[in-house]
Structure 1
C-alpha cells in the first residue's frame, strides 16, 4: 500500500476511486488514485489495487480528481441583476451607480434565493468553499438569509458582513438607501459573529467582517471593524487598490494612497485578505507581503470592466497568499471557479510570457492559495489525510479531450470547457453526474426569476 495508507482503512463511508489522476496537493499526484472519506474528513489516499471497502463508491474512471476549489471573493446577490443592459459597458464607478438603486430592493427572500442559486452554480463549477461579500443592507438580516441557504445546501460558506456608511450625501458613491450608520454596522457585525461564526475545525459556516471600500465607508468604520475582528478573532476583507478612481478619491479625501490608508486604519495584518489589489506600487506590494495580507485575484471581472489586472506572479514570488475569486455576478456574470482559474492561467501567461503561469500554478491558487486567504490552509485546498473531504471529479467531453494524452492537469484548463461531474463537500455528494443534488433548487430558481424581474422592473 502507499505510505499514506499502510494501516488498513476501515469504516469508509465514501470512496472515490480509479481517477485518471488524483491531485492530492501541489506536491503529490497519484495515477489511478483513490480517496477514502469518513466523518467528513479524508482518511486515506492511495493507488489502484489497494482500495478499501466503502459504504458508497464513486467512479472517477478516466477523470481528473482535485481538491475542491475555493472562492475568495464574490457578491452572490448580484446574480439577480446579471448582464443588466444599462450597466454592462461603463467604468467601475458608472456600473456601481447604475446598479445601486436596483440593489436597494434587496430583502431576505432575495438574499436567500440568490444565495441558493449562486451556491448551486458554484458547486457545478467545482467550488466547495466560498466567501461572499454582502455589503448592501437596505433591510436587516440579509446575511442570515444567505447563511440559511448555505446550511440548507450543506455548502462550506464564509459569510462576510459588508458595510457602507458613506453615501453620496456624505461624499461617497452609494445612495443613502443602501448605507447604514456605524452603530448599526458594528452592532450587527457582532450579532452575526455570535449567532453564526463557528471557529471549530471543519466548520461549514464562518463569519468575517468586510467594510466595502475606501470610498463607501469612513475611517472610523475601518478602524472600529479591525478592532472588532481582533476582539472576536475573525478575519477581515475589503476591496483595495481596484481602480485609478480609487487612488484619486483616497488622495483627495484622506491625503494618501489606498494602501497607506488601509495600513493607517489597522488592516495591515495576516488576518486580512483583499479583493483585486491591482494598483499597489512596488513598495506597497512589499509591505502587503511582509504583513501576510492575502489577495483575491478576479480575472474575468477585471477584464470585463477593463480596469487592469493584478500582478499575480510578483505577488506569489513575494510570498503573498493569492487566491481566486469570481467577484460579482453582475460584473463577471457567472460563478464558475473553473472559468476563473482558466482566466488566471491565460492572464498570467499574457502578462509574463509562457513560463509565467502553468495550469498547476493556477490550480494551486484556486485551492491552497485561496485556502490561505481564508485562514484555512490546514484543512481545505488539499486532500491529505485529515483534510476536510471537499473534492471534485472533473468531466470534459471526450471530443474536447481527444489527443490530450500526456498531462491531465494541463488538459483540464487548456481543453475545456470542464464541469464538475461529482462535487463532494464534507463527505456529502452535492453534484452527481454533472447535476446538483439539491431538493430545493427548482423552487429557488422559480422564486429567483420572480425576484429578479421585480428588481429589474420587468413585467411578467
Structure 2
C-alpha cells in the first residue's frame, strides 16, 4: 500500500541532511517512508492526502510513564513524592487486569491525541502476584496501535523491609527475575521497525534489593534489552541512599553496574557536577519529566546543563503526578521550566522538539528507525493545521507555535504507516465505552481503599 501525503505546507524532518521543506511531500510504502521531497506530480499511490495548510513533524516519543495511574488523577494534590506514593499504594493494591487494560487505553488515547507515536511504560506493581498485568497493557497497546516499548518493572522491598509499599504489591527477587525472562522471551522483538520491545525496570533504589539490581543487569546483557529506573528524583531519595548505602544515588548506581549505555533514568533532578560527568562518560540516557517534578515539588532537572552531554528524551510520567498524558504540554513545560531557572536562551523550541522526537528515540535505542522523517525510517509522523485559532498571528515561524502557542492536539497522526488521526478525529478507535468503564473502575478502587463511601 502506497500513501502519498502531498502539498504539505511545512515539513520539519529533523534530519540533518534533508532539513526543512516547504510545499513538500512524504511517500509511504506500507509502514516505511520511501521518499521525502518537493516534486510529487509524477508519483503514483494507492491513497493520496492533500495536506495544504499543515505542518508535519516526526511523532513524539514518550520515554517514561505509569499508565495505570490514569485511574487516580487529582489525588494527594499537596503531597511530596514519598508521602504521595504511600497514599496511592493503598489504592493501587486493588488494581487488576481489567484496570490495567482500560487505564492503558485511556492513557494511550490521550498520548496519541497529543502527538505520541511511540511510548514506553513502567509498570512496577503486581498486586498479589498478578503477573498478567504486564500482558494486559501490551494487549491495550496492540489494540490502539501505538509503537510500544514497555518495561517490566518491579518492587521487592515492602514496609517491613524498609520500603514504602505494602506487602501485597511487592514480589520476591526470584519471581521478578523469572517474570523478566518470561516477558522478554514472549514479547521482545528486536528487529528494525518493531512495534514491541521490552526493557527491564526495577522501580527505584529504595524499592528493590541490590541483588535484584545486579541480577537484572545480567539478564539485560544476556538478552540485549535496555534497563530503566527512577533516579535522583528528590532530596529525600538522596538522603535515603546516603543513610542506607553510604552513597549518593548516581554513585550507588555505579556500584551496582547500572552506569552503561543500556540504561536510561527517569528524572535526575538532584545531580552534582561529578554525577553529570559520570552519566556522560557512561552514555546514560535521561527521561525528563518536568510536569511531575513541578507537581510534586521535586525540583528542576539540569537539562540545559546536560543537553550536550547525554541522550535526553521528554516524558509525561505517571498520570497521577502530572496529571495528564499530554505530550504537547510536557514539551512546552520542559521549555519553560528550564528558562525559569537558566534564562531565556536555556533551551530553544527546536531543541525541545528534538528531545521529544529523535532524542527520545535515541534514549530508547530506536533512532535507527524512528524520530525523524527520512527515507527508510518508520512512517511515524504527526501534523498540525495552520488555521487553528491558537496559531493565529504565529505563522511567520510555524514550528515555534507548537510549543509557544497552544495547539491542544494533533490534527494528523500516522503510526507505522497507519492513519490514526485525520482532520483532528481518530479514524478507527472509539474511546467512549472505555471512558465510562475507566471512571467506574476508578470509583471502585477508591471505595475499596476507603476514600469514597
Does residue 217 of structure 1 match 2:208? yes
**Corresponding residue for 1:402?**
392
| Counterpart among 335, 338, 363 of residue 373 in structure 1 | 363
- Bigger CA drift: 110-119 or 43-52? 43-52
Contact 2:55 2:386 in 1 (8 A): no
Aligned 1:59-78 pairs, distance under 5 A: 59-78=50-69
- 2-structure distance, mates of 1:236, 1:51: 47
TM-score, L = length of structure 1: 0.94
Q: CA deviation at 1:122?
A: 0.7
Cα RMSD (Å) of the superposition?
Answer: 1.5
SS of alignment partner, residue 328 of structure 2: helix
Contact 1:394 1:418 in 2 (8 A): no
- 1-structure distance, mates of 2:330, 2:207: 27
- Bigger CA drift: 296-305 or 392-401? 392-401
SS of alignment partner, residue 15 of structure 1: strand
| Counterpart among 114, 124, 128 of residue 117 in structure 2 | 128
- Bigger CA drift: 175-184 or 59-68? 59-68
Contact 1:396 1:417 in 2 (8 A): no
- 1-structure distance, mates of 2:425, 2:169: 36
- Counterparts in 2 of 1:351 and 1:33: CA distance versus 1, 3 Å: farther
- Counterparts in 2 of 1:322 and 1:17: CA distance versus 1, 3 Å: same
- Bigger CA drift: 348-357 or 170-179? 348-357
Contact 1:276 1:309 in 2 (8 A): no
SS of alignment partner, residue 26 of structure 2: strand
SS of alignment partner, residue 130 of structure 1: strand
For 1:330-357, what per-residue CA distance to the aligned partner results, in whole angstroms no more than 9, with x for missing partners? 0101111111111111122222222221
- Counterparts in 2 of 1:345 and 1:26: CA distance versus 1, 3 Å: farther
**Corresponding residue for 2:278?**
287
- Bigger CA drift: 396-405 or 423-432? 396-405
Q: CA deviation at 1:48?
A: 5.0
- 2-structure distance, mates of 1:418, 1:30: 24
For 1:238-286, what per-residue CA distance to the aligned partner results, in whole angstroms no more than 9, with x for missing partners? 0000000001111111111110111111111010000000111001111
Contact 1:196 1:205 in 2 (8 A): yes
Contact 1:136 1:163 in 2 (8 A): yes
Does residue 272 of structure 1 match 2:263? yes
Contact 1:329 1:335 in 2 (8 A): yes
**Corresponding residue for 1:5?**
none
- Counterparts in 2 of 1:396 and 1:136: CA distance versus 1, 3 Å: farther
Does residue 115 of structure 1 match 2:104? yes
- 1-structure distance, mates of 2:286, 2:300: 12
- 1-structure distance, mates of 2:364, 2:219: 18
- Counterparts in 2 of 1:396 and 1:181: CA distance versus 1, 3 Å: farther
Which residues of structure 2 form unaligned runs of 5+? none
Aligned 1:330-341 pairs, distance under 5 A: 330-341=320-331
Alignment size in residue pairs = 446
Contact 2:101 2:139 in 1 (8 A): yes
- Counterparts in 2 of 1:170 and 1:396: CA distance versus 1, 3 Å: farther
**Corresponding residue for 1:21?**
10
For 1:217-244, what per-residue CA distance to the aligned partner results, in whole angstroms no more than 9, with x for missing partners? 1101111111111111000000000000
For 1:58-83, what per-residue CA distance to the aligned partner results, in whole angstroms no more than 9, with x for missing partners? 33221210000000000000001111
Contact 1:18 1:33 in 2 (8 A): yes
Aligned 1:245-260 pairs, distance under 5 A: 245-260=236-251
- 2-structure distance, mates of 1:82, 1:129: 23
SS of alignment partner, residue 162 of structure 1: strand
SS of alignment partner, residue 8 of structure 2: coil
Q: CA deviation at 1:172?
A: 0.8
For 1:405-448, what per-residue CA distance to the aligned partner results, in whole angstroms no more than 9, with x for missing partners? 32111122112134111111000011222222344533322321
Contact 1:120 1:436 in 2 (8 A): no
**Corresponding residue for 1:232?**
223
**Corresponding residue for 2:352?**
362
SS of alignment partner, residue 198 of structure 2: strand
**Corresponding residue for 2:167?**
176
Q: CA deviation at 1:158?
A: 0.6
Contact 2:15 2:373 in 1 (8 A): no
- Bigger CA drift: 298-307 or 409-418? 409-418
Give runs of ≥4 in structure 1 deviating > 6 Å. Answer: none
Q: CA deviation at 1:396?
A: 5.8
SS of alignment partner, residue 419 of structure 1: coil
Does residue 353 of structure 1 match 2:366? no
**Corresponding residue for 1:453?**
443
SS of alignment partner, residue 222 of structure 1: helix
For 1:34-59, what per-residue CA distance to the aligned partner results, in whole angstroms no more than 9, with x for missing partners? 11111201000011554623222233
Contact 2:150 2:197 in 1 (8 A): yes
TM-score, L = length of structure 2: 0.96
Q: CA deviation at 1:177?
A: 1.1
- Counterparts in 2 of 1:91 and 1:142: CA distance versus 1, 3 Å: same
Which residues of structure 1 form unaligned runs of 5+? 1-11
**Corresponding residue for 1:9?**
none
